[in-house]
Amino acid sequence: MSSAPRVVQCTAVPSAYLQEAHDRGDVRLTVWTPREDEAHLTTAPRDWLLEHAPGASALLVVLQNRVDADVLDRAGDSLRVVSTMSVGYDHIDLDACKQRNVRVGYTPGVLNEAVADTAVLLALMGTRHALPASRLVTDGRWPKTPMRPLTLTGPSLEGKTIGFVGFGAIAQSTVRRLASFRPRRVVYAASKPKPFDVHSAAFAPLLDDVLGTYVRAHGRLPFDVENVQDVGQVAAEADVLIVLANYVPSTHHIVNADVLQRMKKTATIVNVARGPLVDTDALVDALHRDAIAGVALDVIEGEPQITPEHPLLAPALADKVVLLPHVGSATTEARQSMANYATLNVLAALGLRPGSEKDTFCAELDLSK
Amino acid sequence: MSSAPRVVQCTAVPSAYLQEAHDRGDVRLTVWTPREDEAHLTTAPRDWLLEHAPGASALLVVLQNRVDADVLDRAGDSLRVVSTMSVGYDHIDLDACKQRNVRVGYTPGVLNEAVADTAVLLALMGTRHALPASRLVTDGRWPKTPMRPLTLTGPSLEGKTIGFVGFGAIAQSTVRRLASFRPRRVVYAASKPKPFDVHSAAFAPLLDDVLGTYVRAHGRLPFDVENVQDVGQVAAEADVLIVLANYVPSTHHIVNADVLQRMKKTATIVNVARGPLVDTDALVDALHRDAIAGVALDVIEGEPQITPEHPLLAPALADKVVLLPHVGSATTEARQSMANYATLNVLAALGLRPGSEKDTFCAELDLSK
């Protein structure tokens, strides 16, 4: 048993595959468990990872674990795989992995539906003023508040234009949901021109059983979809602007002051992708000037260091701002699927995956490019 | 001009029809405007209504204006119509209206889509823990909170069972929206047996352009729909239980302790209909015992007298309870449509409705029964 490969797991995950492999003696599993003074930590601190890496064959990490050349060298020649329980991989030095012949597993796809749910949740919370409405009740102000015909009203999504910055699988899953709210039009900007063609494989995530049947019957979707040239044009047309772009250097602050300047005063911005896609200073300024109606963000620049002094938490903005702590993928089902992917990717790299495909990753990054 | 019929309007409404009729001299319009000490009032107090009723031909009221025999007698023989800007009419003594040959206009239908939007909003806020997640950020706790794989996770709607208490037009509009979240099954109980038949006119609100096309192609909906015998059975099966019944004596506390006892511990209750459909004491007890996962209510027994001491606002329940101040229909568009209905109903009763159908109500209650 002492020769079984060692797996270093930086946080507890809701999947039994690795524990079962450990119980069978196929791997030796080392899992970080927080000490009393570490109860506030999301995952193992760097010191713990560096301490336990030597001799590991696999590292199972999350977004908050930086995996750089130091960590890889500490693990040494035994290391075969870095498996991250995330769809993003900014925290992993891919070149360093490639140089050391370390494979990288990740968990794309399985969180798309959960994030699309969150996009709809935030679009509704923002447009329908859910937080000020909720606070009115919890603060005990309802008995003394006049609920007149236009009190706390917001725009319906019916007949409106939904704009997207980025139009990949999650954006398209979001459109599928919003279709039942009967928008008039969907406009999007992508990093490269991506003309809309309902029959192209690039738009397959739009066409589930229901919308697919509709398109086969009518040759079109029940709303207009158009790829426009730039983000500014999307912003100018959108009643709700949903940010779902990849975060790469070219998309840093893609929603900037110029883009915000073009938006309708009645529009709401939703960001369920990455915080730095939006220029927070420009956003705060636009909110103070009533240049837009509101924002609903699951991700914020500089997260999780969002303290009560953060400008988005200014009392003057409280009725226009919804902030969630990056829970876009936080359905139980999505997190379990991510944990299954991450643990099976570890076992696959070691040739120990249960079932017939013992060395097949659920999803592996291609490091050859 | 002094002979023009007098219209007494108990609150400002977002529609110009009555003001325009007043400006033409077709009616004499008296609108309540709050004095400084009345800024907290939703609508005219009873004293104002009694003071201004004499000689009125029409009263335009909202839910909070009780219209009983006293009010009708005060108005006198001139009164032709009571027009309420609401779909409910509990606040109007219909027998007294009938005896005095006073017609009653109301505003059904135009708020269905807005309320269905709210049902989806509340289902997502409840299952995805939107309020505790939001407070974690606004209270500045994010930097010190471990965001581990199952932190703040809730169930996906995909593959789940959605239960309905009542299955009229708003419930069916809600199902249309939830269809895009891919539930496995919809179960409902209605006041009378109402077996599901996708081709029956009783279920027409389910079949918009998109789901109608699906049914024509496949002969069925993309999820199971079943009418079950009683509310207890709906409760036993539901992952999300949505209350959308009419409030009549037989539905008082239709969601009671027995019904709650049958629910799954993981289930969430949504009420967007009327507060007294749910037994609040039993609900509070079930929440304290973790017999259900949470509730998201737009309506509460005893509203708007919900003070900070209300048992649903107990700190121990804060993470399981979403309360909104009866904003189900609060889209700008729905409220404008309701205001148009209410003002046009007044003008129709007076034979003054603009256009060719001068005496046609948008919607009138049938008092003949």
pLDDT at residue B88, as a whole number: 87
Same domain, A242 and A165: yes
Give residue-wise pLDDT tens across range B17-62: 999 999 999 999 999 999 999 988 999 999 999 999 999 999 999 9
pLDDT at residue B106, as a whole number: 98
- Using a CB-CB cut-off of 8 Å, the residues of chain B touching A136 are 325
Same domain, A243 and A266: yes
pLDDT at residue B1, as a whole number: 44
**A33 near B CB under 8 A:** no
In this model, does residue A369 exceed pLDDT 80?
A: no
In this model, does residue A1 exceed pLDDT 60?
A: no
pLDDT at residue A319, as a whole number: 98
In this model, does residue A2 exceed pLDDT 70?
A: no
Which CATH number fits the domain that encloses residue A281?
3.40.50.720
Same domain, B83 and B159: no
In this model, does residue A32 exceed pLDDT 90?
A: yes
Judge whether A170 lies within some domain.
Answer: yes
pLDDT category at A90 given cuts 50, 70, 90 is confident
Q: What is the mean pLDDT of residues B283-305?
A: 97
Structure tokens at B369: 């029964």
Dihedral sign, Cα of residue B257, residue B262, residue B264, residue B270: negative
Residue to substitute from A127, A135, A142, A322, interface B, most B β-carbons within 10 A:
A142
Same domain, A161 and A261: yes
- The arrangement of strands across the sheet holding B224-227 comes to B224-227, B185-189, B161-165, B240-243, B268-271, B294-297, B321-323
Same domain, A86 and A119: no
Same domain, A287 and A185: yes
**Whether A7 contacts A56, CB under 8 Å:** yes
Interface subset of B 261-320, CB within 8 angstroms of A = 303-308, 313, 318
Judge whether A146 lies within some domain.
Answer: yes
C-alpha A271/C-alpha A278 separation (Å) is: 8
pLDDT category at B90 given cuts 50, 70, 90 is confident
A36 CA: distance to closest CA in chain B (Å): 13
Number of domains in chain B: 2
Is A24 a residue of the active site? no
- In this complex, the residue of A43, A114, A214 whose CB is nearest that of residue B213 is A214
Same domain, B101 and B116: no
- Using a CB-CB cut-off of 8 Å, the residues of chain B touching A138 are 308, 313, 318, 323
Which residue is closest to A318 within chain B, CA to CA? B138
A91 CA: distance to closest CA in chain B (Å): 17
Same domain, B205 and B165: yes
User: Which one has a higher pLDDT value, B242 or A39?
Assistant: B242
Q: pLDDT > 70: what percent of chain A?
A: 99
Place of tokens 């998109």: B210
Question: Taking Cα atoms as reference points, which of B235, B246, B123, B255 lies closest to residue B179?
Answer: B123
Judge whether B171 lies within some domain.
Answer: yes
* Contact flag B182-A208 (C-beta cutoff 8 Å): yes
Count of A–B CB contacts within 8 Å? 248
Same domain, B90 and B179: no
Which residue is closest to B342 within chain A, CA to CA? A149
Q: What is the mean pLDDT of residues B78-106?
A: 96
- Find the domain containing A60 and state its range: 6-110+331-349
* Contact flag A124-B117 (C-beta cutoff 8 Å): yes
Same domain, B286 and B319: yes
Same domain, B97 and B79: yes
Give residue-wise pLDDT tens across range A97-135: 999 999 999 999 999 999 999 999 999 999 999 999 999
pLDDT category at A257 given cuts 50, 70, 90 is very high
Judge whether A365 lies within some domain.
Answer: no
pLDDT at residue B2, as a whole number: 61
pLDDT at residue B40, as a whole number: 87
User: Which one has a higher pLDDT value, B369 or A77?
Assistant: A77
In this model, does residue A65 exceed pLDDT 80?
A: yes
Is A184 a residue of the active site? no
Give residue-wise pLDDT tens across range A175-211: 999 999 999 999 999 999 999 999 999 999 999 999 9
Question: Taking Cα atoms as reference points, which of A115, A123, A68, A130 lies closest to residue A295?
Answer: A123
Same domain, B279 and B185: yes
- For residue A264, count other CB atoms closer than 10 A to its CB: 16
B369 CA: distance to closest CA in chain A (Å): 31
Which residue is closest to B147 within chain A, CA to CA? A42
B54 CA: distance to closest CA in chain A (Å): 25
